[in-house]
A and B are shown apart, each in its own frame.
Chain A
Amino acid sequence: MSIHAPILAIAVPLLGGFAVPLLARIHKKIRDLWVLVVVLVVAACAGYVAAHVLKEGIWIYVLGARNPQETLAPGGFPIRIMLTADAMSAFMGIIAGLIVLVAFPFALKYIPEEEGKTLSLTLGVLLLAGIMGMSYTGDLFNFFVFLEVTSIAACGIIGFRTWTGRAPEAAFKTILLFGLSGLFFLLAVAFLYGEYGALNLAYLAAQIKGSMVDRLALALFLAGLLIKVAAAPVHFWAPDAYGEAPAAKTPLLVVNTQVSLYGLWRILFTVYGGALNAGVGWLVVSLGLLTMVVASFMALAQTDLGRLVAYGAVSQIGYMMLGVGVGLVTLSGRPDYGLVAMKGGIFHMLNDALTIGLLFLCVGAVEWAKGTRDLRELGGLGHGLPGVALCFLLAALALAGIPPLNGFASKILIYEGSFRLSPILGAVAVLASIFLLAVFVRAFQGAFLGPKAEVEVKLPWGFFLSLGVLAVGILVLGLVPGFFVEELVTPAAKALWHGRALYLAAVLGG
């Protein structure tokens, strides 16, 4: 059974998601147990795939073939849909598995029964299936299908609270933009298919020449995926979406954005690797800087705690784009600082998932306790909710990159790499960090400090379990980052940096 681990990580949540409404008819507890079982299986498969890939190299699984390694049909052409898990895919799988392990138990307690808990859990499990599919797939059209699956499931989650006026508005905007991004992506896939007659990532990578059609397709890929990633100037769906979704599910949406970012790196580094010029890298770098600055400034003006954290999440995407973008710019010469910046950008994905996840779960706890997220009405919660206040402070400091927390470990790599490319990049990144710290300190003071406020509702212990696990993760990653960087992040960065030949050889060579 363990040789089927990559496809089980995708198929089990698919099956599980469809079965949740059926099981909910039998008994609610069975549904909750089923969701927990599905999440555990996915996390176990993701861990197994990561362990295997880091030890033995790229794992290929061909769907529907006579044996899972049979990539080439007679004639030398990869004809079936295959899953290609290299170190970067395994890394994204680990992030997804970790976050759902924490978020789903929180969600099971957070969403009240009468608000359609069955539907919310179904959408969450289907979103998980889409995320794992996007991480592991090695086929371009399969990536598109899972991209759309995540778009639809995410918009269902965002618009979940249809009785408020704001959630459907956020969901409409988001599905419009997600649908548009999917259509741009499909048009790019159509161009590449028309040119080369293949959809397999490795085969396309071997054939890409840099002709006019290829460059058109690259522009369309960038347009589509940059919308999904919430890069400025098309980031405006993210604050609405992250703010209006139920706070227990927002970490999943953040992981969805990061997996779209992974898709962008996969296309830029592996498919287009040889045919890029530095201009694309500079585009990614400048959009990353713009995202950082715009999101930090917009966060200052927010009075809703959820939207403020959402703008913080958007600004961190800018850091990831800056880090890996520096790697893109220097791809032809491959100096050392390019790899350092890429390691920072990729490590930041993991740290950001933990930090922003913790922040959103804290916002959810506050909303559960007080019923509102407006900073003008909150205050003095530090007395009644000390655990939540401490976690919020920890996560805010980690977000801003204060040692010895995990944000510092990844940001120092990004600063170093980008500074060596151009001092302005490093300077702007540091300034944006400091600005964001000021914003979050103000938020912390507005919500948690001040005269003591009454908190009548007691938080369930499940909340504190999820908050505690994430807080411990932040501390561990901050105190001993070296282990994680060496074992997880460096293979992932190297898989993108100079692993293209290995990827092609694994799929096409045998």
Chain B
Amino acid sequence: MTVVVRTITRIVLPISLVLGGYVVMHGHLTPGGGFQGGAVAASGLALVIVAFGAGRLAGRKGLFSALESLGGVAFAALGFLGLGVTFFANVLAGSGKLFGHPVPYGPNSGDLNTGGTLPLMSWAVGFKVLAGLSAVVLLFALFGGESDR
């Protein structure tokens, strides 16, 4: 791809990753969450694949696979955390620990420190979706390159 595309990609990639991280992080307060944020971040990586070619990221396939598996394991493990009560019970909400501020009912100004296990699950899903979608685009790009006669 031309110099213009590559320069713009170098600028847009960090923006898209940060935007994806923002959408994931605020999933329990604003529209968004795990899948949406992961898809935004993956679109940045897909831009890298289009602009620089698939070879640039081809060595990272193992990393993508490991990140995807880690995301899945983290999501399921967070469900197991609640097993003292029931599966998927939100043990951190309102408890004063990691995301434990109590939630005011009704319209409020949005406290990031609430939600309990929900933001953690959003992060797990966000990583999984980022790795999964990027791996899909990467593998399609590699496929296409090999069968190019």
Contacts and interface: CB of A to CB of B under 8 A. Distances in A.
- B interface secondary structure, majority: helix
A495 interface: no
Given A21-B66, A25-B66, A64-B82, A15 B73 contact: yes
A380 B79 CA distance: 54
Interface in A19-73: 19-22, 25, 61-68
B61 to A, nearest CB: 12
A22 B73 contact: yes
A22 B66 contact: yes
Contacts of A196: none
A63 B73 contact: no
A21 B88 contact: no
Interface string A60-100: 01111111100000000000000000000000000000000
Contacts of A68: 86
A65 B85 CA distance: 8
B77 A15 contact: yes
B12 interface: no
Given A11-B76, A11-B79, A18 B86 contact: no
A21 B65 contact: yes
Contact of A18 (B72, B87, B88, B90): B72
A64 B86 contact: yes
Contacts of A64: 82, 86-90
A67 B86 contact: yes
A442 interface: no
A63 B87 contact: yes
Nearest to A19: B73
Contacts of B66: 21-22, 25
- A interface secondary structure, majority: helix
Contact of A65 (B75, B79, B83, B89): B89
Contacts of B83: 1, 4
Nearest to A10: B87
Interface in B44-88: 65-66, 68-73, 75-77, 79-80, 82-83, 85-88
A146 B76 CA distance: 15
B85 A67 contact: yes
Contact of B76 (A15, A61, A63, A66): A15
Given A4-B83, A64-B82, A18 B76 contact: yes
A64 B90 CA distance: 7
B116 to A, nearest CB: 11
A2 B69 CA distance: 27
Contacts of A298: none
Interface residues of B, number: 21
A444 B69 CA distance: 44
A11 B87 CA distance: 9
Nearest to A13: B76
Contacts of B85: 65-67
Contacts of B80: 11, 15
A390 interface: no
A111 interface: no
Nearest to A126: B72
Contacts of B79: 11
Nearest to B79: A11
A62 B87 CA distance: 8
Contacts of A18: 69, 71-73, 75-76
A149 to B, nearest CB: 12
Given A21-B69, A22-B66, A62 B76 contact: no
Interface in B65-124: 65-66, 68-73, 75-77, 79-80, 82-83, 85-90
Interface in A435-462: none
Contacts of B73: 15, 18-19, 22
A63 B69 contact: no
B88 A19 contact: no
A14 interface: yes
Nearest to B87: A7
Contact of B86 (A17, A25, A62): A62
B86 A65 contact: yes
A61 B66 CA distance: 33
A225 to B, nearest CB: 27
Q: Which of B68, B71, B76 has the most CB of A within 10 A?
A: B76
A450 to B, nearest CB: 43
A33 B82 CA distance: 26
30 contacts: A4-B86, A4-B87, A11-B76, A11-B79, A11-B80, A11-B87, A14-B72, A14-B76, A15-B72, A15-B73, A15-B77, A18-B69, A18-B71, A18-B72, A18-B75, A18-B76, A21-B68, A22-B66, A25-B66, A61-B86, A61-B87, A63-B87, A63-B88, A64-B82, A64-B86, A64-B87, A64-B88, A64-B89, A65-B85, A66-B85
Interface of B: 65-66, 68-73, 75-77, 79-80, 82-83, 85-90
Given A18-B69, A63-B87, 13 more contacts: A4-B87, A11-B76, A15-B72, A17-B72, A18-B73, A21-B66, A25-B66, A61-B87, A64-B82, A64-B86, A64-B87, A64-B89, A67-B85
